[in-house]
Structure 1
Amino acid sequence: MGSPNLYELHAVADAPAKKWCGGNLGGDNETCVTTTPLVGLDAFAVADSKPEGDGRELRMSGAELDTFAVNWVRTRGLAL
């Protein structure tokens, strides 16, 4: 049996999207990424909070998202 199709999963009904914001706080086009947990797995829908990104999202398992975050920090030379 292969990996589940994350795009077939629904968001957790009572879980609001968590905003992770960078610059431009408070502006009309706030620079935020949102994550919403998906039902049944350690997985998330990742989206852009700007109106132009509405309806577009990336689905990632928790492990994929963790690996991305660690490698992003490492390659960007950011301190943890």
Structure 2
Amino acid sequence: MVNTKFYTIIYVVLFVSATIQVLVEFAGLEYWTAFGLIMVLSAAKAILVAAYFQHLRWEPRSVTYLIGIGLAAALALTFAASYSIL
């Protein structure tokens, strides 16, 4: 059975962190400080979405590791592509 209250709390946390990201962008912080804060918030949001809305939290660890390997490969290819543009 779906626990609506739990999913509502996760949704509110995601909404608040997205709002904080927008506020950080307009706060006039130094570029790298703002970039770091936004990246940390984005990573936290991605983990929440993957864990609870995509139900990886309750899957066997092998599935979670498989998703993690795919994510690491995608990030490695993205970084490699960004350096090849320069």
With normalisation by structure 1, the TM-score equals 0.33
Greater RCO (CA < 8 Å, at least 6 residues apart): 1
Higher Cα Rg, which structure: 2
